[in-house]
């Protein structure tokens, strides 16, 4: 394979007539030799060009050569471009790089392909709620196939930032609060994007982001300061990044925030000591958007100083700032950075291009025919629909109000009930938003003639027009209605009056979460709550279909409604997938991966907290003076991590462990019987938690150690077993050594993190 690759490579350079051909030998050369020879030919300027990642700017088809960025490419000042869509445009731009530059080095083409490409899957928080690793991997595989068919060879995904803070808008882009689950998902996504051979034209380079700790900004405010102990970083926040590195991710994106007082972009401890020395990362690190420039705002020096600091910290590629391109030559001349440091960075970028097969065929990802066969296909959309249905979390379903019958008249009411462009959710750069399926259309098509569906908007997103504008940026409008609140409400009540059942489609707009969308209040906007109250007053059954990019505070809704289905932002197939679940063609099986608080004041909130010296032990939420609790709120969340209902019910019994003791070389099995005791076939996420009862440092009250998503037919019973070894009981101690300590461990298996049933073992030396 390597031989073929290298021979083709030589052929390619012969064809292009590059400097390589003059030295070409008949013997295949290794990747390392190829790259070293190339580096040896590069001027300093050409080297710095490889480290430069500008945006594509405005490139129109057929005119790439005269675009602003073309001049820089021709001068060898560009290593890659991002956010340019379409194989034909990318082909034109690549042509400039490989035909009009001195060394003819191909470009990387990046994009934020975050949860699908044109076929858009649920937002990552929704995807994680499937707890279905093969579906998640498959979604990344499909995203890679579509993106690569459109010219893209590099995605800025997976985003694996752990966050216990739903005020932060980017919780929507991650996999929630848990490091174990986050790590499994990080691996699945990297595998999905990169496959086993990066040089295939259907796989693309992944980029794990944002390294590190971006999900822990103070007060949940975007880009804010992060401050945490190293022991916490290693135990709770680092694992998913490390899992992605272990899975072979080809690139890492540095985060905007500071880590231990030094911005990640200039943090040598983080980028070199942790990432390279401890984790043995072999790919390259790119900054986030303008992050080098922002180091000046952080207050660590002028442009030249911060650019040099970033390179020396271990950053290889500068996204948008131009600091590497424009200042590193001066720093080199002044001895502030070395040629070796620059060469190291160039080498890693060229390695990635080589691994993608770009030297062999720079147009590998620009097959113009694939657009028709590989993008937004029936098969891909069917997969997205299935995945979306599996991401929904049934939060409440009293008296089995759901599933609905396919009969009678159903009123859809709410600002999200007939909207396409908000369905894909945040960071869906490649989506054709108007092609997404609104709830109304999905319901109508799934129901056909069997039932009548009527619709009223009911209210705007919020009463405050300026807020609505901030919350529907980038064209994702909710078509603000000029009618008054009363007029909208009257129409809604009139429509509701004709219906047997009301489906209220409420919540956030898609841009109320995502980057730069922090919130201090986490309730459904008040005008929508008023609408909901009026609908409930009709006395008709009301189902809340909740659109959200983050955990919300739903105390009132939980109290007043019989049924709540949380659908996040489901992607392009939204309307179909929601209808599939509402009418019982699919049984919901999603589980929360982030805790839903009772109040904003409980935040940060997560299930794997410590016990404290004064824990509140009563489960009734009764206040006890001088214990760790609030005088105005209970400690427990509204819905715990791992929570989610089904149309059927599951019973857990016979929890047992294979042995009461375990040595450092043994394996033990913890098992439980799970039965489907309800009236529907269904899927259940069986969750295993452990507690390390006594440690040299304090340990969480519970930690997720495993999960299995199983399908059970009505009446069926299965035994679910988890095998554990000492590796599963390890944690980072105060020396940051990864250790397991002898002593008692408790294991819990249940339907969510609130499980109480447990067995114990003793770990002995
Ligand atoms: C975001 C990144 C994204 C980058 C490129 C930044 O604003 O933080 O997640 O990959 O832009 O679009």
Task: Report which ligand 1 atom has the smallest distance to the Cα of 83.
Answer: 12
Which atom of ligand 1 is closest in space to residue 256's alpha carbon? 8
Helix (H) or strand (E) holding 617: none
- 255 Cα–ligand 1 center, Å: 9
Residue of 84, 124, 154, 156 to test ligand 1 pocket, by largest number of atoms within 8 Å of CB: 156
Q: Which of 685, 689, 730, 726 is nearest to 708 (CA)?
A: 685
Which 3 state secondary structure label does DSSP give 468? helix
- What is the pTM (predicted TM-score) of this model? 0.96
Ligand 1 midpoint to CA 730 (Å): 34
Alpha carbon 607 to chain centroid, angstroms: 20
User: Is 288 assigned a catalytic role?
Assistant: yes
C-alpha distances out from residue 633 to 170, 599, 611, 623, Å: 26, 8, 18, 9
Question: Quick one: three-class SS letters along 43-90?
Answer: CHHHHHHHCEECECCCCCCCCHHHCHHHHHHHCCCCCEEECCCCHHHH
Q: Do 257 and 226 touch, CB atoms closer than 8 A? A: yes
Cis peptide before 212 (omega within 30 of 0): yes
Ligand 1 center from residue 103 Cα (angstroms):
30
- What residues of the chain score a pLDDT lower than 50? 1-25
What is the Cα–Cα distance from 187 to 17, expressed in whole angstroms? 40
Q: How many CB atoms lie within 10 A of CB 614?
A: 11
Interatomic CA distance for residues 257 and 7, integer angstroms: 45
Query: Are the CB atoms for 112 and 428 separated by under 8 Å?
Result: no
pLDDT for 27: 61
Would residue 568 be called left, alpha or beta, if left means φ above 0 and alpha means ψ between -120 and 50 degrees? left
| H helical segments located in 356-484 | 370-374, 378-391, 439-447, 465-470
3-state secondary structure of 629: coil
Residue 288 beta carbon below 6 angstroms from any ligand 1 atom = yes
Contacts of 740-743 spanning 24+ positions with Cβ under 8 A: 740/664, 741/692, 741/694, 741/695, 741/696, 743/692, 743/693, 743/694, 743/695
Determine which one of 150, 288, 374, 728 is catalytic.
Answer: 288
Model confidence pLDDT, tens digit, residues 503-519: 999 999 999 999 999 99
Closest atom of ligand 1 relative to the 253 alpha carbon: 10
Q: What is the whole-number distance in angstroms between the Cα of residue 427 and the centre of ligand 1?
A: 9
């Amino acid at each position: 394979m390597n031989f073929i690759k290298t021979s083709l490579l030589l052929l390619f350079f012969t064809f292009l007539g590059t400097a390589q051909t003059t030295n070409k030998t008949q013997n295949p050369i290794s990747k390392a030799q190829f790259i070293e020879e190339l580096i040896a030919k590069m001027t300093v300027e050409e080297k710095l060009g490889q480290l430069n990642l500008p945006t594509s700017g405005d490139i129109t088809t057929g005119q790439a050569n005269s675009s602003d960025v073309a001049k820089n490419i021709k001068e060898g000042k560009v290593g890659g471009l991002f956010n340019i869509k379409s194989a034909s445009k990318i082909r034109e731009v690549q042509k400039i790089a490989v035909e009009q530059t001195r060394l003819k080095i191909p470009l990387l083409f990046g994009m934020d392909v975050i949860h699908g490409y044109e076929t858009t899957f649920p937002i990552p928080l929704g995807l994680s709620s499937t707890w279905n690793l093969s579906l998640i991997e498959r979604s990344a595989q499909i995203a890679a196939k579509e993106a690569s068919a459109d010219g893209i060879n590099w995605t800025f995904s997976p985003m694996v930032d752990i966050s216990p803070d739903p005020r932060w808008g980017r919780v929507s882009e991650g996999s929630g609060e848990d490091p174990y689950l986050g790590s499994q998902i990080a691996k699945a996504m990297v595998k999905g994007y990169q496959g086993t051979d990066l040089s295939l034209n259907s796989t693309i380079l992944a980029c794990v982001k944002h390294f590190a700790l971006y999900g822990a900004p103070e007060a949940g405010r975007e880009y804010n300061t992060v401050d945490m102990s190293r022991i916490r970083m290693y135990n709770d926040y680092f694992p998913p990044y490390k899992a992605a590195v272990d899975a072979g991710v080809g690139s890492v994106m540095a985060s905007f925030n500071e880590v231990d007082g030094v911005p990640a972009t200039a943090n040598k401890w983080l980028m070199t000591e942790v990432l390279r020395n401890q984790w043995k990362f072999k790919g390259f690190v790119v900054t986030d958007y303008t992050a080098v420039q922002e180091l000046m705002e952080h207050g660590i020096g002028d442009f030249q100083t911060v650019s040099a600091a970033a390179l020396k910290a271990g950053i290889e590629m500068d996204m948008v700032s131009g600091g590497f391109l424009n200042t590193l030559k001066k720093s080199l001349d002044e001895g502030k950075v070395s040629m070796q440091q620059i060469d190291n960075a160039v080498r890693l970028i060229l390695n990635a291009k080589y691994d993608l097969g770009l030297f062999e065929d720079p147009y590998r990802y620009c097959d113009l025919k694939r657009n028709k066969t590989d993008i937004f296909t029936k098969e891909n959309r069917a997969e997205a629909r299935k995945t979306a249905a599996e991401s929904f979390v049934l939060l409440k379903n009293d008296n089995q109000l759901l599933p609905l019958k396919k009969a009678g008249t159903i009123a859809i009411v709410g600002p999200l009930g007939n909207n396409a462009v908000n369905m894909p959710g945040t960071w869906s750069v490649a989506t054709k938003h108007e092609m997404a399926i609104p709830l109304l259309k999905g319901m109508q098509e799934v129901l056909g003639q069997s039932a009548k569906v009527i619709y009223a908007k009911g209210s705007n997103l919020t009463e405050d027009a300026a807020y609505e504008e901030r919350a529907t940026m980038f064209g994702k409008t909710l078509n603000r209605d000029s009618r008054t609140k009363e007029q909208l409400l009257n129409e809604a009540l009139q429509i509701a009056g004709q219906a047997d059942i009301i489906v209220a489609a409420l919540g956030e707009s898609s841009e109320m979460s995502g980057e730069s969308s922090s919130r201090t209040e986490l309730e459904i906007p008040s005008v929508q709550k008023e609408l909901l109250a009026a609908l409930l007053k009709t006395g008709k059954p009301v189902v809340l279909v909740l659109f959200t990019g983050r955990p919300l505070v739903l105390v009132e809704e939980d109290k007043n409604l019989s049924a709540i289905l949380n659908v996040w932002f489901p992607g392009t197939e939204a309307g179909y997938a929601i209808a599939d679940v509402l009418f019982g063609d699919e049984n919901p099986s999603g589980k929360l991966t982030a805790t839903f608080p009772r109040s904003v004041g409980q935040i940060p909130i997560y299930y794997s907290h410590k016990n404290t010296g004064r824990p509140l032990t009563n489960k009734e939420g009764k206040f006890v003076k001088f214990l760790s609790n609030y005088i105005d709120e209970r400690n427990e969340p509204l819905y715990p991590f791992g929570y989610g209902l089904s149309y059927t019910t599951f019973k857990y019994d016979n929890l047992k462990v294979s042995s009461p003791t375990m040595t450092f070389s043994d394996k033990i099995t913890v098992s439980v019987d799970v039965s489907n005791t309800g009236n529907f076939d269904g899927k259940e996420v069986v969750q295993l938690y452990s507690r390390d009862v006594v440690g040299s440092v304090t340990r969480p009250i519970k930690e997720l150690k495993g999960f299995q998503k199983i399908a059970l037919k009505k009446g069926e019973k299965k035994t679910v077993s988890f095998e554990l070894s000492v590796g599963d009981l390890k944690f980072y101690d105060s020396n940051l050594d990864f250790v397991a300590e002898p002593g008692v461990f408790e294991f819990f298996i249940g339907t969510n993190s609130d499980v109480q049933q447990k067995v114990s073992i003793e770990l002995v030396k």
